[in-house]
Every structure is written in C-alpha cells, then in structure tokens.
Amino acid sequence: MKQHDSGRRRFIGYAALLALAPLAAKDVLAQAKAPAGALPKLPLDNAQAKALNYVESTKGLAHKTFKAGSDCSNCMFFKGAAGQAYGPCTLFPQNSVAAKGWCSAWAKKV
C-alpha cells in the first residue's frame, strides 16, 4: 500500500512538471526573440523610479516640474534610437524607459 502511494505521488510530480514545461519553453522563446542587449522595462515600483516620479506616459501628467512636450525621447539621458518605444536611460542602467515616459530628472536634449 505504501509503495502504491509513493508511485502515485511520483506520477503526480511528473504530471505537474509536464504541465509546466510549455510555460518554461514559452519564457525561453520570448527571451530568445528579444533583441540582443534589450533591457527589462523599468518597473514603476522601482525605488529610484518612484523617487523621481517616473511615469510611462505623460498623458494627464500634472507634476509641478513637468513641461508640456517633454518626455524621455527628448531628454538628454535617453539613449534609445528615434522611434523606439523603449530605450536605455543613463539614470536607470539596468532597465529601459518608455520614450513617451518622463521623470523629474528630465533635462532637454541638446
């Protein structure tokens, strides 16, 4: 009887692994399709992002230092290519920021 339970537990364990395999493969494929060097998007709950009031869109933004027309794409710290939705930012080297985003460290690109 004990051997029977052990075999059933092993079967359930294998079944669970088989059920999760497609999800793991999907993650691997998604990472493989990402362009080389692509950085993960800056999470809004990142401590530095919160400290700098980072947002992914300036639509409706009412921050006291926000100037209409300013966004990451025209900030001197944005290093993304023109037309790129997300790109690197000098202030957040581990992540990419939204071209249409903004933070209080915004400085006009010259």
Q: Does 55 bind ligand SF4 (CB under 6 A)?
A: no
Which span sits near ligand SF4 by CB under 6 A: 8-16, 19-27, 60-68, 71-79?
71-79
* Cα angle: 107, vertex 66, 97; to 5 degrees: 60
Out of 4, 54, 61, 68, which residue is the one contacting ligand SF4 (CB under 6 A)?
Answer: 54
Residue 100 and residue 73 in contact, taking contact as beta carbons nearer than 8 Å: yes
Residue 99 and residue 78 in contact, taking contact as beta carbons nearer than 8 Å: yes
Residues that bind ligand SF4 (CB under 6 A): 54, 72, 75, 77-78, 89, 91, 97, 101-103, 105-106
